[in-house]
Amino acid sequence: MKNNRVPTLYEWMGGLPTLEALTAKFYERVPQDPLLCGLFAGMSPEHPKRVAQFLAEVFGGPKTYSGERGGHATMLSHHLGKTITEEQRRRWVALLLDCADELKVPDDPEFRSALVAYLEWGSRLAVINSNLDPNTPVDPSVPMPAWSWGVPGGPYMPE
């Protein structure tokens, strides 16, 4: 009998090992990128791992980020006062997708549509929050995003 359970985006992309490889590759490149280097100057060596945990949770994986870091409110608070420009936002998305291609993260249309949709949504939210005063209180009850397939039924899975 065929298993009709639709995998999460997290499972489809290869889980935490894939996300950790993706964020490691991305943040290795950031210091050489003239648009992004200033945003991440002084970044903790743990930053790529934390971002991987955040993305894992968003895409249906373990809730490690919320359990250890405080959830979406924590991520939102890290962007306050950063004044991210639209040009930096677009570069962040493009560089992350370039790294995904290099690592052979799934490139089927359904998965990439969902991935790009989240990156666009999340990066635009980061820009909005980056223009708020760094002392703006963030509601700790703001829910974690839960991203899934952008098409009915999930990925194309041939019989």
pLDDT value for 91: 97
The tokens for 126 are 């980061």
pLDDT of residue 159: 47
Task: Show the tokens assigned to 87.
Answer: 């040009």
Are 87 and 131 spatial neighbours (Cβ–Cβ below 8 Å)? no
Full set of structural domains in the chain with CATH: 9-130 (1.10.490.10)
pLDDT at 154: 53
What pLDDT tens digit does each residue of the chain (159 aa) get?
Answer: 456 788 999 999 999 999 999 999 999 999 999 999 998 888 899 999 999 999 999 999 999 988 888 887 788 777 878 889 999 999 999 999 999 999 999 999 999 999 999 999 999 999 998 888 898 888 888 888 899 997 555 555 544
Contact 54, 125 (CB under 8 A): no
- What confidence score (pLDDT) does residue 24 get? 97
pLDDT on residue 95: 97
Distance, in Å, from the CA atom of 117 to the CA atom of 134, rounded to the nearest integer, reads 27
pTM of this prediction? 0.89
Cβ neighbourhood burial of 150 (10 Å; 0-12, 13-18, 19+): middle
105: region left, alpha or beta (phi > 0 left; psi from -120 to 50 alpha): beta
Instruction: Please tell me the predicted confidence (pLDDT) of residue 152.
Output: 53
